[in-house]
């Protein structure tokens, strides 16, 4: 039996440890965080994050071999394996501001570990997404004190996506573990691999060197985001040429060399990681003297911002170039369906632009209103958060669909149309709704990358 500790009880730390606890009942798993409110919610049935299937897994293991608390120092004392899953946001000050990774939370944990560990051999696992060669910095901090503990630093990046975290953790495409190339490093990587081998087939556990592991995580996110920006750029061309982006995506995705996933045009990708990780990758390239490579990856973020702006411009233009006093209802605020997470959601810049035009913004989301309120609290203007979707749409001039929640397809659009100001507009930022049907009801429909369906 080992004492496994995870520092950071967020979107990654909580679900990952719950799945390890479920599958490794002989180990004791403790998750700590400096945020008392988060920990209180992990200890209740009102979890701090919404993730389908998560509550059931937590309930199975909590109090048996899964524990949540805030005493980082005490929990570190007798830990054998420490996963570090703290946030690694983009640095907003000093050198590299707006691009580089802000590693202050990361370094603080390294120092906490050094001060408190008492076991003779401890494995420190990088779970957070980090710039290449961070493990080296961590190792140097851990070797700098008088501690008698021998530390091994292993990289084990997480590939779960929000909304499908439990499924992704239960049947991952791969588990990546990067270890040092000496005897101790290999042994540490193997110990982490053994944990996952409780439920993940061995052929899906990939062992590499630490630097490949760290870099692969950034590149995986950059390449996923790059596909979306590629498709979004082509959606603009489709709108000029009467081609249909859904047909183009299907046609190119059937080429097995390209594959069909991550080819859906959208208002722009969001989430806490894509933008941040591409900027970190781009900054790393600059740092290592590769400006052309840095620009190449930065353009993925530029196209993403442009796509959200294009969506806004279309609303402004179609509503006769004035939004002042008009009610625009947002269907969805989360950065994707099945999560309450709004970090870097395209809904945020969209609201800012709409409020800048003096529109009245009505926001609906089944799970993200709590976060939406926080995101928009400093924005000036007429914005309301509405729990009842029909109330949000009552008296609206236009609907902007931001998040592809399944329930939005089931709405009674006849009823909605009757309560909206005419001409009524729908801007579908996800190509999620039934456009022909909406057109027949009377809506002017503006999909992405497809010809619009207009009555006026």
How far apart are CB 433 and ligand NAD at their closest, in Å?
27
Question: Binding partner of residue 134 among ligand UGA, ligand NAD, none, CB under 5 to 8 Å per kind?
Answer: none
CB atoms within 10 A of CB 250: 12
When asked if residue 273 is in the footprint of ligand NAD (CB under 6 A), the reply is yes
Q: Where are the alpha helices (DSSP H) in 319-444?
A: 347-356, 369-376, 389-393, 413-419, 435-441
Q: Residue 299 is encoded by which pair of tokens? A: 């353009």
The candidate with the shortest Cα–Cα distance to 13, out of 51, 60, 63, 44, is: 51
Please identify, using beta-carbon distances, which residue of 76 and 314 lies nearer to ligand NAD: 76
Q: What is the footprint of ligand UGA within residues 109-168 (CB under 6 A)? A: 129, 158-162
How many positions of this chain bind ligand UGA (CB under 6 A)? 20
Q: Which does 109 bind (CB under 5 to 8 A by kind): ligand UGA, ligand NAD, none?
A: ligand NAD
Q: Is residue 86 close enough to count as binding ligand NAD by CB under 6 A?
A: yes
Q: Which among 6, 273, 285, 351 is annotated as catalytic?
A: 273
Pairing label, strands 398-401, 360-364: unpaired
Binding mask 206-225 for ligand UGA (x = CB under 6 A): ---------------x--x-
**Strand ranges (E), 80-164:** 81-84, 121-126, 150-155
How is the beta sheet containing 383-385 ordered, strand by strand?
A: 383-385, 360-364, 327-331, 398-401, 425-428, 444-446
For residue 153, the Cα-to-chain-centroid distance in whole angstroms is: 25
Residue spans of beta strands (DSSP E) within 197-302: 205-209
Give Cα separations from 374 to 46, 147, 308, 371, 392 (angstroms).
19, 42, 21, 5, 19
277 closest CA partner among 83, 128, 115: 128
The contact mask relative to ligand NAD for 153-172 (x = CB under 6 A, - = no) is -----x-x-x----------
CA 136 to each of CA 82, 208, 214, 415: distance values in angstroms, whole numbers, following the listed order: 16, 15, 11, 60
User: Binding marks (x or -) toward ligand UGA, 257..286, rule CB under 6 A?
Assistant: -----xxx-x--xxx-xx------------
In the block, residue with structure tokens 């859904």: 246
Smaller CB distance to ligand UGA: residue 135 or 348? 348
Site string for ligand UGA, 225-264 (x = CB under 6 A): ---x---------------------------------xxx
Q: Applying CB under 6 A, which of residues 35, 43, 209, 212 lies at the interface with ligand NAD?
A: 35
Asked whether position 129 contacts ligand NAD by CB under 6 A, the answer is yes
Burial of 222: CB neighbours in 10 Å, binned 0-12, 13-18, 19+: buried
Q: Per CB under 6 A, does 51 bind ligand UGA?
A: no
Structure tokens at 324: 């002042």
Nearest Cα residue to 337 out of 312, 361, 366, 362:
366
In the bound state with ligand NAD, the residue whose beta carbon lies nearer, of 280 and 362, is 280
Beta partners for 173?
A: none
- Clarify whether 24 is annotated catalytic: no
By CB under 6 A, is residue 311 in contact with ligand UGA? no
Q: Which of residues 310-369 bind ligand NAD (CB under 6 A)?
A: none
- Which of the choices ligand UGA, ligand NAD, none does residue 386 contact, using the CB cut-off of 5 to 8 A by kind? none
Pick the binder of ligand NAD from 3, 23, 76, 85 (CB under 6 A): 85
Size of the site for ligand NAD (CB under 6 A): 27
Using the rule CB under 6 A, is 128 a contact of ligand NAD?
yes
Q: Which of residues 45-74 bind ligand NAD (CB under 6 A)?
A: 72
> Closest distance between ligand UGA and the C-beta of residue 371, in Å?
14
C-alpha 275/C-alpha 281 separation (Å) is 10
Residue 47 interaction partner, one of ligand NAD, ligand UGA, none, beta carbon < 5-8 Å per kind: none
Among 88, 155, 342, 431, binds ligand NAD (CB under 6 A): 88
Q: In what order do the strands lie in the sheet with 175-179?
A: 66-69, 28-32, 3-7, 81-84, 121-126, 150-155, 175-179, 205-209
Q: Does 34 bind ligand NAD (CB under 6 A)?
A: yes
330 interface partner picked from ligand UGA, ligand NAD, none, CB below 5 to 8 A per type = none
Helix (H, G, I), strand (E, B) or coil at 84: strand
Q: In this chain, which of 5, 6, 12, 267 binds ligand NAD, going by CB under 6 A? A: 12
Other CB atoms within a 10 A radius of the CB of residue 261 amount to 9
Q: Residue 282's binding partner, choosing from ligand UGA, ligand NAD, none, with beta-carbon cut-off 5 to 8 A by kind?
A: none
Partner whose footprint covers residue 88, from ligand UGA, ligand NAD, none (CB < 5 to 8 Å by kind): ligand NAD
CB 52 to ligand UGA: min, Å: 13
Nearest Cα residue to 347 out of 318, 368, 319: 368
So which residues are the catalytic ones? 273
**Residues forming the site for ligand UGA (CB under 6 A):** 129, 158-162, 221, 224, 228, 262-264, 266, 269-271, 273-274, 335-336
**Residues forming the site for ligand NAD (CB under 6 A):** 7-13, 32-35, 38, 72, 85-88, 105, 108-109, 128-129, 158, 160, 162, 272-273
């Amino acid at each position: 039996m080992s004492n496994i500790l995870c520092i950071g009880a967020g979107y990654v730390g909580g679900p990952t440890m719950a799945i390890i606890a479920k599958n490794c009942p002989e180990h004791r798993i403790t998750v700590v965080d400096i945020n008392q409110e988060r920990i209180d919610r992990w200890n209740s049935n009102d979890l701090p994050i919404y993730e389908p299937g998560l509550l059931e897994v937590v309930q199975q293991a909590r109090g048996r071999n899964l524990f949540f608390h805030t005493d980082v120092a005490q929990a570190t004392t007798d830990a054998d394996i420490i996963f570090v899953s703290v946030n690694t946001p983009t640095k907003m000050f000093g050198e590299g501001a707006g691009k580089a990774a802000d590693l202050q939370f990361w370094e603080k944990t390294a120092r906490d570990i050094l001060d408190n560990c008492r076991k003779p051999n401890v494995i420190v696992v990088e779970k957070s997404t980090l710039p290449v060669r961070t493990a080296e910095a961590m190792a140097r901090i851990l070797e700098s004190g008088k501690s008698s503990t021998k530390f091994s630093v292993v990289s084990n990046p997480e590939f779960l996506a929000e909304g499908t975290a439990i499924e992704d953790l239960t049947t991952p495409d791969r588990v990546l573990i990067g270890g040092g190339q000496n005897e101790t490093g290999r042994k540490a990587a193997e110990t982490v691999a053994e944990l996952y081998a409780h439920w993940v087939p061995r052929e899906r556990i990939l062992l590499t060197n630490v630097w490949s592991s760290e870099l692969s995580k950034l590149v995986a996110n950059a390449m996923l985001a790059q596909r979306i920006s590629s498709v979004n750029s082509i959606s603009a061309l489709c709108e000029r040429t009467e081609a249909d982006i859904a047909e183009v995506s299907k046609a190119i995705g059937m080429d097995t060399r390209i594959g069909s996933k991550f080819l859906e045009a959208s208002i722009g990708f969001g989430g806490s990681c894509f933008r941040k990780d591409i900027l970190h990758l781009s900054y790393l390239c600059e740092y290592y003297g590769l400006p052309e490579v840095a620009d190449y990856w930065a353009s993925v973020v530029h196209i993403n911002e442009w796509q959200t702006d294009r969506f806004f411009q279309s609303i402004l233009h179609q509503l006769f170039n004035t939004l002042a006093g008009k009610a625009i209802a947002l269907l969805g605020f989360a950065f994707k369906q099945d999560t309450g997470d709004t970090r870097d959601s395209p809904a945020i810049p969209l609201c800012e632009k709409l409020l800048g035009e003096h529109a009245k913004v009505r926001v609906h989301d089944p799970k993200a209103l709590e976060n939406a309120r926080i995101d928009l609290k400093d924005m000036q203007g007429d914005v309301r958060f509405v729990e009842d979707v029909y109330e949000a749409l009552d008296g609206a001039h236009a609907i902007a669909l931001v998040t592809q929640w399944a329930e939005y397809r089931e709405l009674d659009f006849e009823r909605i149309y009757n309560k909206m100001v005419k001409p009524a507009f729908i801007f579908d930022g996800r190509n999620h709704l039934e456009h022909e049907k909406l057109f027949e009801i009377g809506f002017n429909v503006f999909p992405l990358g497809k010809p619009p369906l207009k009555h006026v």
